[in-house]
Amino acid sequence: MNKPVGQLRPSQLITTFGPGSIVDLPDFSVIIGGINTWDRNTMLRHSYDIDEPRLTRKLGIKKIKSIPIPNENSGGFGTLPAYRFPEFHVCPNCRKLGASYHFIDEEGILFCQNPDKKCPKVKTHPVRFLTACKNGHIDDFPWGFYVHSKENQKYDHRKCKLYLLDTGKTGSLADLIVRCETCNLNRPLSQAFQNEKLLPRCQGKRPWLGKRNVDEKGCEQQRKLLLRGASNLYFPVIESSIVVPYQSNPLVELVRREIDFENEELVGNKNNFQFYIRMNSELKQYDPEELWSITQRLRFGHEENNDLLEPEWDAITSGHRIMDEPDFEVEVQESPSPQLSKLIRVKRLKAVMVLRGFTRINPLPDATQRYSGEDSEDEENNSESNMAPITDVRAEWLPGVETFGEGIFIALNEEKLNHWVDQHQDYENQLESIHINQYRERYIPDDAIPEFPGLRYVLLHTLSHALIRELCLHSGYSASALKERIYSDSSKGMAGILIYTATVDSEGSLGGLVELGKTENFKPILSRALTAAGYCSGDPLCAEHDSVELRDINGAACHSCMLIAETSCEKSNRYLDRSVLVSTVANKGREYFHIGQI
């Protein structure tokens, strides 16, 4: 079948429905193909390169490609490949169960016409169950193996006739029975949920990279039985950055783009390198010695700086408008409080999101290790070793989207903040101990545990959540439309928060958020946010929830007072505590802000 079967927005192909995810359609469901299956000569011709050198360098790729969008002139190109998945369908009338070749295929739609059950021509639907493993592999549920293994009989897909019966007595899984009419065998599906060891080991199948693609490394993980629409079936791993004025050596960027640093014979042998330079149309016009020097510096990491946050901090706090940057504009305002050093309206900004891969069953431990660069470099101890690829070849490019919007940036007074942290060093040490224990309980090796972000981060993060909850009441944006970006590094003097909104459409900036960034508007917002943070409908229970006593990385924080949508939070609603922000009814004496001083 070579025709369009559905439509998705570009942002959905980076987040919810990226390569490897399952999309339900009216007549069947499909799994989105990996980027290795995207046709470069047709579909990608309607794509364009997204310019964000900082993100490109950190990801180790040459390009970020936009999602191609079909239009009237594209001749249908711009459609992404997808494969039918799961393969097994069931007839709603006679309950016949089988792969696509067991049914009548009419333009991709499967129909059942079962003479054994006198079943008329009926449209089938995909089964609700499939299997996946922690390494990202996915496969059909082994229906034939499952029903025959109980009696140690062999399943013959050519002779055995399978049915998925539904007794409909209780509405539970016990009502679903897998039956083989040929062998007269029955087995309730509930047994597979109760004991996953009844299922065979994972075979390493990766149908999004091609129908018969199998992981060459193999896989010995235990399969898990999941629903087709389960929320833990697909967790995208996204890298994002705010596009800021970026000054770099264009020759360095050219070397990064044209030189394959994985080729040791090229970057390790000067004669081979100079020969390659003479043959390369982009590089042969430059001094070979200078190119060799740049290559060696890049090879050994002397010019690598993958920190995405520091350049953003510098660009925002500078307060200068860059004339050649139409998508970045800031305006400094007077600080509304002595505890704050800066208030800046970010009148225009552009964010770039890039899809690196995805995980199944469990997400990566912390959503924003991708922001802060906390990932372990040791692949054996790195949770990202479970990240499934979106291509079966070495990626020279990754798909991304540009989003446009506005924001408000605030920075805390560094002198007052450092004094406050010094006063509460004991509490910071206790939180760090809890942070380490949280990872040890998940059997994470000590050398793979990310560094504790610090007490200043807990303060900034809690303040960010309090402001987001208040800003959504006045800005015209929903709470889930606002995002946070925390800048916390004592060695670099960073202690700030960017609260912003961004959409794929350039019209996503409504002006309601940045208007609240004016001093006269922001001061009452801050005051109300802090006042609201002092009380919770769950008090006194919420306020008494102390991280030290309960050994939890969150202190006084719950859904009623501090937690927000996890798509808006960069730490998965962790490292929050109202007691470090303002005084609560528990009166811990840790607060940074005093309401009367705002």
Which tens digit of pLDDT belongs to each residue from 197-216? Answer: 888 889 999 999 988 888 88
Q: How confident is the model at residue 92 (pLDDT cuts 50, 70, 90)?
A: very high
Q: Are 578 and 536 in contact (CB under 8 A)?
A: yes
What's the confidence (pLDDT) of residue 9?
81
Q: 41 or 308, which is more confident?
A: 308
The two three-digit tokens of residue 326, written as one number: 């139409």
Q: Compare 384 and 266 and report the one with higher pLDDT.
A: 266
| Most trustworthy range by pLDDT among 187-196, 301-310, 444-453 | 187-196
Q: Does residue 77 register a pLDDT over 60?
A: no
Structure token digits, residue 361: 């069953």
Residue 80 has what pLDDT?
A: 81
Mean pLDDT of 79-95: 90
Percent of the chain predicted with pLDDT > 90: 43
Residue that is last in its domain, among 67, 84, 101: 84
Residue 106 located in a structural domain: no
Amino acid 130: pLDDT: 94
Give the mean pLDDT of 277-299: 84
pLDDT of residue 509: 60
Handedness of CA 280, 285, 288, 292 (dihedral sign): negative
Question: Average pLDDT for residues 354-365, to the nearest whole number?
Answer: 86
Domain for residue 113, yes or no?
A: no
Mean pLDDT of 541-567: 87
* Average confidence (pLDDT) over 93-120: 90
385 has a pLDDT exceeding 60: yes
Q: What residues form DSSP beta bridges with 224?
A: 132
Q: Is residue 432 part of a domain?
A: yes
pLDDT winner (highest mean) among 72-81, 249-258, 581-590: 581-590
Whether residue 41 has pLDDT greater than 60:
no
- Encoding tokens for residue 342? 């800066």
Closest CA to 149 of 126, 176, 183: 183
Determine the pLDDT at residue 211.
80
Cβ–Cβ < 8 Å for 407, 315 = no
Average pLDDT of the chain is 85
Where does the pLDDT of residue 480 fall: very low under 50, low under 70, confident under 90, or very high at 90 and above?
A: confident
- Decide if 90 is inside a domain: no
Q: What is the mean pLDDT of residues 312-324?
A: 75
Q: Which of 271-285, 364-378, 396-410, 521-535 has the lowest mean pLDDT?
A: 364-378
Task: Please check the confidence at residue 382 and state whether its pLDDT lies above 80.
Answer: no
Range name among 17-26, 260-269, 303-312 with the lowest pLDDT average:
303-312
Is residue 358 assigned to a domain? yes
pLDDT value of residue 184: 92
User: 136: phi > 0 → left, psi -120 to 50 → alpha, else beta; which?
Assistant: left
pLDDT exceeds 60 at position 487: yes
Residue 44, φ and ψ in degrees, nearest 5: -70, -10
Min mean pLDDT across 163-177, 348-362, 375-389, 521-535 is at 375-389
Q: Global pTM?
A: 0.76
Residue 104 pLDDT > 60, yes or no? yes
Query: 380 in a domain, yes or no?
Result: no
380: confidence class by pLDDT, cuts 50, 70, 90: very low
374 pLDDT above the threshold of 50: no
Q: What is the mean pLDDT of residues 292-321?
A: 75
Name the domain boundary from 84, 117, 143.
84
Range of the domain at 18: 10-84
pLDDT at residue 102 tops 50: yes
Exposure string over 11-29, b if 16+ CB within 10 A, otherwise e: bbbbbebbbbbbbeeeebb
Euclidean distance between CA atoms 537 and 528, whole angstroms? 16
Give the model's pLDDT for residue 373. Answer: 42
- Write down the pLDDT at residue 70: 63
Residue 56 in tokens: 């490109």
What does the pLDDT read at residue 91? 94
Sign, CA torsion 196/200/204/208 = negative
- pLDDT score, position 521: 95
| Boundary (domain end) residue, out of 84, 103, 134 | 84
Given the structure tokens 């939070």, which residue do they identify? 569
Model confidence band, residue 155 (pLDDT cutoffs 50, 70, 90) = confident
Examine residue 38 and state whether it is found in any structural domain, yes or no. Answer: yes
pLDDT for res 492 = 83
Give dist(CA 597, CA 480) in Å, integer: 30
pLDDT of 247 > 60? The answer is no
**How large is the average pLDDT for residues 499-514?**
72
Which pLDDT belongs to residue 196?
Answer: 85
Residue 146 sits at φ, ψ, to 5 deg, of -65, -45
Least confident of 18-27, 34-43, 278-287, 559-568: 34-43
Interval 139-161 mean pLDDT: 88
92 within some domain: no
Domain count, the chain: 2
How much is the pLDDT for 29? 92
Runs of H (alpha helix) within 472-518: 512-515
